[in-house]
Amino acid sequence: MKPIGLTVGVVIILITLFMWVNAPALFGSMAEQAKNVMGLYLVMLAVILAAFQIKMPTLNYDITSLIYFVIGFGVTVFVMLIIPVNFKAMLASFELITAVSLGFLYAFVKAFIEEVIFRDILPLKVGIGDVASSILFGVFHFAMLWSLGATLPVMIAGMITLSLLGYIWSQVRQRLTLMGAVGSHFGYNMVVLGVFGI
């Protein structure tokens, strides 16, 4: 019998579970919010995989995929850092991250799970398409902002912005595969969460 390989997707789930279980030690005063977010991501992923009887997608391991990931990450971070908006100040009330290493991990896990669901499973495997999946991506973030106590204008602006970003990431996926979309989303999360200290 051949042993089951430890795919990137399974490792991400294990890391997410680790952060959920150890939230008090990792996130300090923001532990409850971080635990709620990580729990929501795990439940959402499990429900979608079970509902559509889909195996957990994984990332490619080849050099081309790694290059696409780096391109997606680098271009996104560059563009976001030249935009004259202080993302950290704008989202300070929602910031969960206090350490760069933890921010790196948190940003990657969120990007990976969201890209697998909204740029792979829903549009391609379930077949709802990129536009509908991008709108659901925005609605999902509307709910996330609501759970964090955002005002209605912030929730609506977030939903519209993230629906558009979701569609952009679907276009990145078409050109640079899922790896490029994950890399770009990861870079976005790193800037928004303030990991680069902007």
User: Taking the model in full, what pTM does it have?
Assistant: 0.83
pLDDT at 31: 82
pLDDT at 157: 92
Residue 121 maps to a domain: yes
pLDDT at 85: 64
Q: What is the pLDDT along the chain (198 residues), one digit of tens a residue?
A: 444 455 777 788 888 888 888 888 887 777 888 888 888 888 998 899 889 888 877 666 678 888 999 999 999 988 888 876 655 555 544 444 455 557 778 888 899 999 999 999 999 999 999 999 999 999 999 988 887 788 999 899 999 999 999 999 999 999 999 999 999 999 998 888 776 654
Are the beta carbons of 100 and 191 closer than 8 angstroms? no
In this structure, the number of other CB atoms found within 10 A of the CB of residue 33 comes to 17
**Alpha carbon distance 38, 18 (integer Å):** 10
Domain range for 153 is: 8-192
pLDDT at 15: 86
Residue 1 maps to a domain: no
pLDDT at 4: 47
pLDDT at 124: 94
Residue 198 maps to a domain: no
pLDDT at 5: 52
Q: Is 198 helix (H, G, I), strand (E, B) or coil?
A: coil
Residue 108 maps to a domain: yes
pLDDT at 81: 82
Residue 2 maps to a domain: no
Residue ranges in the chain assigned as alpha helix (H): 8-21, 23-27, 31-51, 63-82, 87-90, 100-115, 129-147, 152-192
Residue 18 maps to a domain: yes
Tokens representing residue 54 in the block: 């889909």
Distance of CA 40 to CAs 16, 138, 169, Å? 11, 16, 22
pLDDT at 94: 45
pLDDT at 61: 67
| Number of folded domains that form the chain | 1
Residue 143 maps to a domain: yes
